[in-house]
A and B are shown apart, each in its own frame.
Chain A
Amino acid sequence: MNLLDIFKRRSSAPVARERLQVLLAYERRNRSQPDLVSILREEIMAVIAKHVQIDQDYLQVSMERGETMSTLEIDIQIPNKSPAPMAIAG
């Protein structure tokens, strides 16, 4: 170690560059798939809505990206009964 180094602060720019390079590599990869999850969500909703009435809130679509495998998790809650028929006023 150079004696002069004691007086110098460790430079932070190389660290900044490395952090940015890693981060942007990740962000750019994800950007090429334009929000796949929300597209899936809408299409699944449309298919289900043909047959059953469900609420937006009861459909959860999430995607987890792993190193070798990614998982797509779809959680749909379908109400057991169709809403009770309205009472007819006598």
Chain B
Amino acid sequence: MGKVVVVTSGKGGVGKTTSTAALGAAVAKTGKKVALVDFDVGLRNLDLIMGAERRVVFDLVNVIQGTAKLSQALIRDKRVDTLFLLPASQTRDKDALTEEGVGEVIDKLRSVFDYVFCDSPAGIERGAQLAMRFADEAVIVTNPEVSSVRDSDRIIGLLDARTMRAEQGEQIAKHVLVTRYDAGRAARGEMLSIDDVLEILSVPLLGIIPESQDVLRASNLGSPVTLSEPLNSAAKAYIEAARRLEGEELPVIVPFERKGFLDRLLGRRAA
């Protein structure tokens, strides 16, 4: 039985979709069978980040409504052959997903794949709750920024109350993934530190993804950063986060900024 991981956050724009793609690709590269499921019905973006936007024929809503088979809707990645994508629909009907339907699809995926990553829509509404409903584990994507941390706290509350596991009295494993971390700003006390975030949310850390232009470039090119530039610092951080997700015990090193004398004097950013 595969593991179902929801990638979620309260606030939008923190990097859920990018992180889903990067983590999923990193796990798939180790030979595990991975399915990425886009739950953002109405907006959908995982297909674009994965570079599969022109290959979408059927989607999650088709599968749930029975107009397509799961095998017809799954798109195999062209770079990693154990990586699959189940795209979201662009339908405007917000109620296109039913709880029973989602449950059936997740069960089928769980029986075939080692990992099922669910890319949640932003917010705390129905869509986000359906994405987390059947998850075994949750990756909470957070920026070191007040509004993002606050909304993450809200999501953690929902994970502990509204998931199937929580209702059955079990715990859902939770991890915080801090993205867009700027070591320089943190050093200058302009950005919440990792310790602050962890202390406030009291959820274990999965990884710290440094702010990097390569992440944007990877999105532009339609390739997860862990595949297109695996040696980049952000990609390395994602690959390590993926290994921790698989149970490996790796210490997390907080990125620091190397500054020269002149930079320090002028308070400039080194990067």
Q: Is A50 an interface residue (CB 8 A)?
A: no
Establish whether residues A28 and B153, one from each chain, have CB atoms under 8 Å apart when the complex forms.
yes
Of the stretches A4-12, A35-43, A54-62, A71-79, the one at the interface is A4-12
A60 to B120, CA, bound (A): 36
Query: B153 contacts A16, CB within 8 Å?
Result: no
Instruction: Flag whether A20 is at the interface (Cβ < 8 A).
Output: yes
Determine whether B150 belongs to the interface, using a CB cutoff of 8 Å to chain A: yes
A23 contacts which of B150, B189, B192, B196 (Cβ < 8 Å)?
A: B150
State whether A17 touches B192 (Cβ < 8 A): yes
Considering the complex, which residues of chain B in the window 183-218 have a beta carbon less than 8 Å from any beta carbon of chain A? 186, 188-193, 196, 200
Q: Which residues of B contact A64 (CB under 8 A)?
A: none
Are A28 and B196 touching (Cβ within 8 A)? no
The minimal Cβ–Cβ distance linking B28 to chain A, given in whole angstroms, is 36
Contact B200 A13 (CB under 8 A): no
Tell whether, in the assembled complex, residue B154 and residue A27 are in contact, meaning their CB atoms are under 8 Å apart: yes
Tier of interface size on chain B: 10 to 19
Query: A11's contact among B145, B153, B157, B190, by CB below 8 Å, is which?
Result: B190
Residue of B whose beta carbon sits closest to that of A18: B196
Cβ-based interface call for B131 (8 A): no
Contact between B146 and A16 (Cβ–Cβ < 8 Å)?
yes
Query: How far, in whole Å, are A75 and B150 apart by their CA atoms in the complex?
Result: 34
Given A16-B192, A20-B146, check contact A8 B267 (CB 8 Å).
yes
Taking chain A's interface residues, is the majority helix, strand, or loop, or is none over half, making it mixed? helix
Q: Decide yes or no whether A85 CB sits under 8 A from chain B.
A: no
Given contacts A14-B189, A17-B192, contact A24 B200 (CB under 8 A): yes
Is A21 in contact with chain B by the CB < 8 A criterion?
yes
Contacts of A23 in B (CB 8 A): 150
The answer to the question of B234 belonging to the interface, with a C-beta cut-off of 8 Å to chain A, is: no
Q: How far is the CA of A21 from the CA of B154 in the complex (A)?
A: 13
Note all chain B residues with C-beta closer than 8 A to A7. 267
A13 contacts B154, C-beta separation under 8 Å:
no
CB-defined contacts of A24 to chain B, threshold 8 Å: 150, 153, 200
Q: How far is the CA of A87 from the CA of B74 in the complex (A)?
A: 64
Residues of the A chain whose Cβ atoms lie less than 8 Å from the Cβ of B191: 13
Q: Verify if A51 is at the interface (C-beta below 8 Å from B).
A: no
Separation of A54 and B157 alpha carbons in the complex (Å): 36
A19–B153 CB distance below 8 A: no
How many Å lie between the Cα of A16 and that of B145 in the bound state?
8
| Chain A interface residues (CB < 8 Å from chain B) | 7-9, 11-14, 16-17, 19-21, 23-24, 27-28, 31
Closest 10 interchain pairs by CB?
A: A11-B189, A17-B196, A13-B189, A16-B146, A24-B153, A13-B192, A31-B157, A16-B192, A20-B200, A20-B146
A-B contacts besides A13-B196, A14-B189, A16-B146, 9 pairs, CB < 8 Å: A7-B267, A12-B190, A13-B186, A13-B192, A13-B193, A16-B196, A17-B192, A24-B153, A27-B153
